[in-house]
Amino acid sequence: MNKAMHLVLKALSDPETKLDLQKSRRIMNLKILDPFKPFYRTLDTKIYNEGREVPVRIYFPNEESYDTVDIEAFQEKNKSLDTGKMSDNIYPVILYIHGGGFVTESVESYNRVCWNLAKNTAHVVVSIDYPLAPEHRFPTQIEDCYAAAKAVFGDRTILNAEPDQITLMGDSAGGNIVAAVCQMARDRGEFIPKRQILIYPCVNNDYSEENAYPSVLENGRDYLLTRQNMADYLDFYQSCEADRQNPYFAPLLAEDFSNLPRALVITGELDPLRDEGEDYARRMKAAGVDVTLHRIADGIHGFFLLEPVYSAVRETYDYINAFLKS
């Protein structure tokens, strides 16, 4: 990274200040003001988990895929507790779980990301609007995302998709939830994901200076996401201190990494979470999981949220599409 860009990022970073949750949410929610939103081909629906409504948004890669849906019938079903169904879907599916440190972001703020993902992979994308911390704490997010995945894989109440054609994918905190959902699916045996894509995942439980990975200390001051941010996110997320030792809270703590879905793990060179994501990939691979790992040069945390015109995003899409086709 050139010195000028580094200086800009450093000026925008505040490594010593604790996270201002409301300010952070206001900044992230600016992305909701998307002038291209009227042009996206989407449908909104929901699933239910223990009486909680979990909204999801479906993104279509093109007009042809959107035209496979009986829109009026879908919308009529969606007025009731029954979830709408796309009986004629012939496209593979990406079940996407957004990032945001468990406390910010939403389906609305990730509209552009999921629309780009659908277009650039020729997949139907299902984005889960899980509840945020601290209003809702661990394990609510994982249980709701697990319920949504179970519906997509087993009941086909959202999409009529073959289980082998469904990929779980998430970035940052969403990568944490994807990793946890994959472990949970293996442990419970209710459905079997075949593929997972983790984009700079948060999979650790400790961001103190004494216990953090080297990349947290090297990159946790000058590149927007700080070590202090990560510590604050986990404080908001946990229900109690004991959660920190739960492998569904921190997937790196799992005792068994075998029999997980084949994985693509993408990390960024200048991301504080680089080392833990790469360690998670290595542990899965050592347990016999088919893992592909790529580190994006000069990549900072959050780069995947940029437009595909940026080289780091284009490179990531090349890796994603190669993985999905293999």
Residue 85 has pLDDT above 90, yes or no: no
Q: What is the pLDDT of residue 163?
A: 93
Quick check: is 271 catalytic?
A: yes
Residue 167 has pLDDT above 70, yes or no: yes
Residue 287 has pLDDT above 80, yes or no: yes
Q: What is the pLDDT of residue 157?
A: 56
- Residue, of 99 and 74, whose pLDDT is higher: 99
Residue 49 has pLDDT above 80, yes or no: yes
pLDDT in tens, 209-258: 988 899 999 999 999 999 999 999 999 999 999 999 999 999 999 999 99
Percent of the chain with pLDDT over 90: 79
Percent of the chain with pLDDT over 70: 92
To the nearest whole number, what is the mean pLDDT of the chain?
A: 91
**Catalytic-role residue among 172, 215, 222, 294:** 172
Give the pLDDT band (50/70/90) at residue 265: very high
**Catalytic-role residue among 98, 123, 294, 301:** 301
Query: How far is residue 301's CA from residue 309's CA, in Å, rounded to a whole number?
Result: 17
Query: How far is residue 217's CA from residue 200's CA, in Å, rounded to a whole number?
Result: 16
Quick check: is 301 catalytic?
A: yes
Give the pLDDT band (50/70/90) at residue 145: very high
Residue 80 has pLDDT above 50, yes or no: no
Please state the three-class secondary structure of the chain as a single string. CCHHHHHHHHHHCCCCCCCCHHHHHHHHHHHHCCCCHHHCCEEEEEEEECCEEEEEEEECCCHHHHCCCCHHHHHHHHCCCCCCCECCCCCCEEEEECCCCCCCCCCCCCHHHHHHHHHHHCCEEEEECCCCCCCCCCCHHHHHHHHHHHHHHHHCCCECCCHHHEEEEEECHHHHHHHHHHHHHHHHCCCCCCEEEEECCCCCCCCCCCCCCHHHHHHCCCCCCCHHHHHHHHHHHCCCHHHHHCCCCCHHHCCCCCCCCEEEEEEECCCCCHHHHHHHHHHHHHCCCCEEEEEECCCCCCHHHCCCCCHHHHHHHHHHHHHHHC
Query: How far is residue 73's CA from residue 158's CA, in Å, rounded to a whole number?
Result: 13
User: How do 124-128 and 52-59 pair as beta strands?
Assistant: antiparallel
**Catalytic-role residue among 144, 222, 271, 275:** 271
- Residue, of 234 and 155, whose pLDDT is higher: 234
Query: How far is residue 245's CA from residue 252's CA, in Å, rounded to a whole number?
Result: 10
Beta bridge partners of 197: 169, 264
Q: Which amino acid is at 124?
A: V
Are the C-beta atoms of residues 65 and 86 closer than 8 Å to each other?
A: no
- Tokens describing residue 309: 């015109």
**Prior bond of 139 cis (ω within 30°):** yes
Are the C-beta atoms of residues 252 and 203 closer than 8 Å to each other?
A: yes
Q: What is the pLDDT of residue 9?
A: 84
Q: Which amino acid is at 49?
A: N
Residue identified by tokens 């997509």 is 152
Quick check: is 311 catalytic?
A: no
pTM of the model: 0.94
Least confident of 32-36, 38-42, 76-80, 164-168: 76-80
